[in-house]
Amino acid sequence: MQQYALIGRKLGHSFSAKFFNEKFEKLHIDAHYSLVELPDFSGFDKWLEARSDIVGFNVTIPYKEEMTRRCDCLTMEAREIGAVNAVCVRRGEDGTISLTGTNTDAPGFMLAVEDELTQIRRETQPGERPGALVLGTGGASKAVCFALKMAGFDITLVSRTPGHSSSAHNTTAGPASVRKTAQRITYADLTSEIMEANRMIVNATPLGMWPDTDVCPDIPYDCLDDRYFCFDCIYNPEQTLFMKKSAAKGATVSNGLKMLENQAILAWQFWQNGKNG
């Protein structure tokens, strides 16, 4: 039986085991997906050596960045974002193990929002570039920024602290037309002009996530109307306060469930390609 896994520090909240084990059962695939809690990344190699049946695994908080250094090979997405969330394991006949890492959060996000991005692009004045506000500067933000840059959006990062955007947010990946550094501002800098220039708003902070569902990012919701698309990376609860307040102003809203499902499906395809390649 093929074995897959999710490694992370605390996995009580994981969606992946249910998602993959239901898929295996439904499609009669002889495989199993388990949760592996590693209190420390130093335990990773010991775990991998002991599990000669592991053919692929996901990576979550807080090991996505450390895994980029542990992999033998990275896809362009993983290298540019600086985080790995899916790894394909290859074993040589001599027992050597080779790890290839990718990032499926970015394309997972892209697939979840492509209709809305197309709509925003259509409504952007000729000669101008569409703009997006990305709230938060952590791992989800880096994946979202990478995807939005590849889609030709100008990005403004909104953080609690002023400062320079990190290297992943400054990525120069992609064709010359998408090479632009994300600018970084604080919540206090969000004027009506900035809101007007950015019709897409992504909550990439944990604010509003269960069980703390009565909080939301501090943005001027009064500036929103039906031209805006507000995407929350959070998928639990289904309707966050950020989504409720945005929808009340007429904005189109979406939670992160589709992104989550897409990243899992893309990880599965990555493992299958690696196995057959």
- Regarding 138 and contact with ligand NAP (CB under 6 A), the answer is yes
- Which range touches ligand NAP (CB under 6 A), out of 16-24, 32-40, 192-200, 206-214? 206-214
Among 18, 46, 160, 179, binds ligand NAP (CB under 6 A): 160
| Residue 254 CB contacts under 8 Å (≥ 6 apart), including other chains | 112, 113, 116, 229, 230, 231, 232, 243
The whole-angstrom separation of Cα 142 and Cα 274 is 25
- Regarding 235 and contact with ligand NAP (CB under 6 A), the answer is yes
23, 26, 46, 64: which one is catalytic? 64
- Regarding 240 and contact with ligand NAP (CB under 6 A), the answer is no
Query: Least Å distance between CB 32 and ligand NAP?
Result: 22
Q: Can you read off the two tokens belonging to residue 149?
A: 């840059």
Q: How far is CA 164 from CA 79, 137, 152, 186, 198, in A?
A: 20, 11, 21, 11, 20
Restricted to residues 98-127, the positions that interact with ligand NAP (CB under 6 A) are 105, 108
Q: Can you read off the two tokens belonging to residue 208?
A: 């509003």
Among 7, 11, 74, 140, binds ligand NAP (CB under 6 A): 140
Q: Is residue 46 among the annotated active site residues?
A: no
- Regarding 165 and contact with ligand NAP (CB under 6 A), the answer is no
- Regarding 156 and contact with ligand NAP (CB under 6 A), the answer is no
Tell me the residue ranges of DSSP E strands in the chain.
2-8, 31-37, 54-59, 73-74, 86-91, 97-102, 131-135, 154-159, 183-186, 200-203, 229-232, 252-254
Among 259, 266, 267, 268, binds ligand NAP (CB under 6 A): 259
Nearer to ligand NAP, 46 or 164 (CB): 164
Q: Which residue is nearest to ligand NAP (CB)?
A: 138
| Residue 228 CB contacts under 8 Å (≥ 6 apart), including other chains | 199, 200, 201, 246, 249, 250, 251, 252
Interface with ligand NAP (CB under 6 A): 61, 105, 108, 136-141, 159-161, 204-207, 209, 233-235, 256, 259-260, 263
State the catalytic residues: 64
